[in-house]
Amino acid sequence: MEGETLVLTFAGDWLLAGQRTETNNVDTVLAEAEGAQRITYETSQLGTWDTGLITTLASIQHFATSRRIENDLTGLPEGAQGLLNLAFAVKEREGARREATQPRLAESVGTATLEFLESGKELIAFMGELALSVQRMIRRKATIQASQVWLAIQEAGVEALPIVGLITFLIGMIFAFVGVMQLNNFGAGIYTADLVAVAMVREMAPIMTAILMAGRTGASYAAQLGTMKVNEEIDALSTLGINPIDFLVMPRVFALILMMPFLTMYASLMGIFGGLVVAVSMLDITPLQYIVQTNAAVGLNTLFGGLFKAIVYGALVALAGTQQGMACGNSAMAVGQATTKAVVMGIVLIVVSASILTVIYINLGI
């Protein structure tokens, strides 16, 4: 301190990569200089410098401005003066700075609840849009391209066969293992065929196919539509007067609803085949006996009950995937979030509807 002037001496190297203890000292030095009217600089001993120096100078500038102290930069190297002037040339925009706040628990719960309700409302609104699109289709006013529908059918159908086949074959085998181990204790090993067939046709094939489709096709719908939104491709459709729901969403929903019963039938067969392999190898029965037993176990009610479930699950998976895709934000991160949400929402909807359908089936005696 020289009278009312605070002279700050900078010496040595001031680099981002170097030791930064001096930077912390500045706060202490400034705290002692509360009464100063002017700050000047002495830099004859200053070595190399970079942003490490400018950051310190900027905090001194803020300090000086807040206490109305004159900050005389003339003692600084020219380059440092230029950068500092540049940093303060444009005033900070009012209201631009955001305060980092830690939300309270109640606030977080409230926000999450409101977001949940909002997403429920969006889902219902989207279902309304789909209903309007169906109406336009019936009145032949919807813009739908056959090639889009065939492409969606191919993606949701044939291309899903390998994974659906593999998983349900293994599930059938697992069921058969459990059946053989337990039922054989009572000499009822042949009923493994009944266990596998009924479990697969009625419950496991629809639900496993649906969960696989939620992870595969539902996620793909959300990612495709989300990316199209980010790339303004959906806007480009709208500017041509083409409704994106008619053109992009309906073919996908239609394809999945159409393909799910076929995939489920295929999944049931693969599961039964898996059970057959295990039963024939572990029990003293022939493949023909297993097939006859299976045939006797599965009635039409069971078959159609399972296929109806498949249609419901297919509709829900398609709904979750397309709704999340269309509601996606305008960034790469938003596409990732939409895809995750589509899978989670799809699986939740499948499980909830499975419970409801099971209760309904029991009451109807199916």
Partner 1 sequence: MKPATDMQPDTDNHIEIADLTLSYGDFLIQQNLNFNVRRGEVFVVMGGSGCGKTTVLRSIIGLKSPGKGQIRIDGNSIWDVEDEKRNELKRNMGVLFQQGALWSSMTLAENIALALQMYTDIPDKDIREICSLKLALVGLAGFEDFYPNEISGGMRKRAGLARAMALDPDILCFDEPSAGLDPISSKLLDDLILELRDSLGTTVIVVTHELASIFAIADNSVFLDPDTKTQLATGNPKTLRDECDNFEVRNFLARGEARE
What's the CA gap between 223 and 219, in Å, rounded?
6
364 binds partner 1 (CB under 8 A): no
- The minimum distance between CB 103 and partner 1, in angstroms, equals 20
DSSP string, 43-111: -TTEEEE-HHHHHHHHHHHHHHHHTT-EE-GGGS-HHHHHHHHHHTTSPPPTTTS-------HHHHHHH
- The minimum distance between CB 157 and partner 1, in angstroms, equals 17
Instruction: Rank residues 32 and 232 by Cβ distance to partner 1 and give the closer one.
Output: 232
- The minimum distance between CB 238 and partner 1, in angstroms, equals 6
Q: Considering only CA atoms, which of 327, 346, 352, 347 is closest in space to residue 337?
A: 327
129 binds partner 1 (CB under 8 A): no
Residues in 222-251 at the binding interface with partner 1, rule: CB under 8 A:
227-228, 231-233, 235-242
Instruction: Rank residues 143 and 289 by Cβ distance to partner 1 and give the closer one.
Output: 143
- The minimum distance between CB 246 and partner 1, in angstroms, equals 11
**How is residue 174 written in tokens?**
């697992």
Cα maximum dimension of the chain: 108
- The contact pattern for partner 1, residues 182-221, with x = CB under 8 A and - = no contact, is ----------------------------------------
Binding partner 1 by CB under 8 A: which of 15, 29, 149, 151?
151
145 binds partner 1 (CB under 8 A): yes
359 binds partner 1 (CB under 8 A): no
- The minimum distance between CB 231 and partner 1, in angstroms, equals 6
**363: which residues sit within 8 A by CB, 6+ positions away?**
none
What's the CA gap between 288 and 280, in Å, rounded?
10
Binding partner 1 by CB under 8 A: which of 23, 43, 81, 143?
143
Instruction: Rank residues 201 and 228 by Cβ distance to partner 1 and give the closer one.
Output: 228
Task: Please report which helix (H) or strand (E) contains residue 14, including its range.
Answer: strand 12-14
DSSP string, 343-363: HHHHHHHHHHHHHHHHHHHHH
Q: How many CB atoms lie within 10 A of CB 42?
A: 13
Instruction: Rank residues 72 and 233 by Cβ distance to partner 1 and give the closer one.
Output: 233
- The minimum distance between CB 131 and partner 1, in angstroms, equals 16
What's the CA gap between 242 and 248, in Å, rounded?
10
Instruction: Rank residues 157 and 274 by Cβ distance to partner 1 and give the closer one.
Output: 157
- The minimum distance between CB 241 and partner 1, in angstroms, equals 3
Q: Considering only CA atoms, which of 263, 251, 249, 261 is closest in space to residue 160?
A: 263
Applying CB under 8 A, the site for partner 1 has a residue count of 16
- The minimum distance between CB 114 and partner 1, in angstroms, equals 15
Binding positions for partner 1, rule: CB under 8 A: 143, 145, 151, 227-228, 231-233, 235-242
